Each structure stands twice: as C-alpha cells, then as structure tokens.
C-alpha cells in the first residue's frame, strides 16, 4: 500500500527556515516524480514544486521567489522541502503528492496527510 508521511512542520518566526520531509513507502520511490502542495487555513490548494525521479529536474511556483528548494534521497525513500525567509503567508498545511505521468496526462495519485507550518512571531 502506498504511504506518504510528512514531517517537520511546526511554529517558526518570520524570516526563519524550516525543512520538511516526506517518507515514502509501499512503492518504488525512485520510479516516480514527486510534488509539494500547500493549503493555507480555509483556502484552496496551491502547487509548490515538482522534482523528477532522479532529482535532476525541478519546477517551482513563481510566487515562491526562489525561497524554497525541493530535493530527494532515493536511497532513503525521502522527499524534502527546504523553506527559507518564511513569512506569515507561508502558513499552511504542506502535502507531498506522488506524480503519475500517463501517456494522456499528469495527475497526483497519492497524497500524504500533511504537516502544518505556522509562521508567527
């Protein structure tokens, strides 16, 4: 069974940094691209970043302005999100989601339960 478990969330001050992790199990992690998606309290979903199977290709939402870095360790079945220069606008639940690319299109087929990041002084 596919399982994604995020961790690393918590309370951080504005201007600070946090590193989120996503532990994957139940599938061959190195065979799938991965994504991070966030959801601010009471708001909709926002795609944050994508990383390819090998980690050599990454994409980010323009609004992040280069503050976040996605990476992965296939040997440890883990996905990471380094978040820098945090602001209160980054307060959200952060989800990791598995990327499934079919001949007909791309979708996120499995999601973790999310980890809450709160940015506040």
Interacting residues with another protein (CB under 8 A): 35, 37, 44-47, 50, 59-63, 95, 97, 102, 104-114
Question: Which residue, 11 or 107, has its beta carbon nearer to another protein?
Answer: 107
Instruction: Tell me how far, at minimum, the Cβ of 5 lies from another protein, in Å.
Output: 11
Q: How is 53-86 classified by DSSP, letter by letter? A: SSSS-EEE-GGGTT-EEEEEEGGGTEEEEEE-S-
Between CA 85 and CA 106 the distance in angstroms is 31
Question: Which residue, 54 or 113, has its beta carbon nearer to another protein?
Answer: 113
106 strand-pairing partners = 101
Instruction: Tell me how far, at minimum, the Cβ of 75 lies from another protein, in Å.
Output: 26
Instruction: Tell me how far, at minimum, the Cβ of 55 lies from another protein, in Å.
Output: 17
């Amino acid at each position: 069974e596919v399982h994604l478990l995020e961790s690393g969330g918590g309370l951080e001050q504005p201007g600070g940094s946090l590193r989120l992790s996503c532990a994957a199990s139940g599938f061959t992690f190195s065979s799938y691209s991965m994504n991070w998606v966030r959801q601010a309290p009471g708001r909709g979903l926002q795609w944050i970043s994508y990383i390819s199977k090998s980690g050599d290709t990454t994409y980010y939402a323009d609004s992040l302005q280069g503050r976040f870095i996605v990476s992965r360790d296939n040997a440890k079945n883990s996905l990471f999100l380094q978040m820098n220069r945090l602001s209160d606008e980054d307060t959200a639940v952060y989800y990791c989601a598995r990327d499934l690319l079919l001949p007909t299109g791309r979708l996120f087929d499995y999601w973790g339960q999310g980890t809450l990041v709160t940015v506040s002084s």
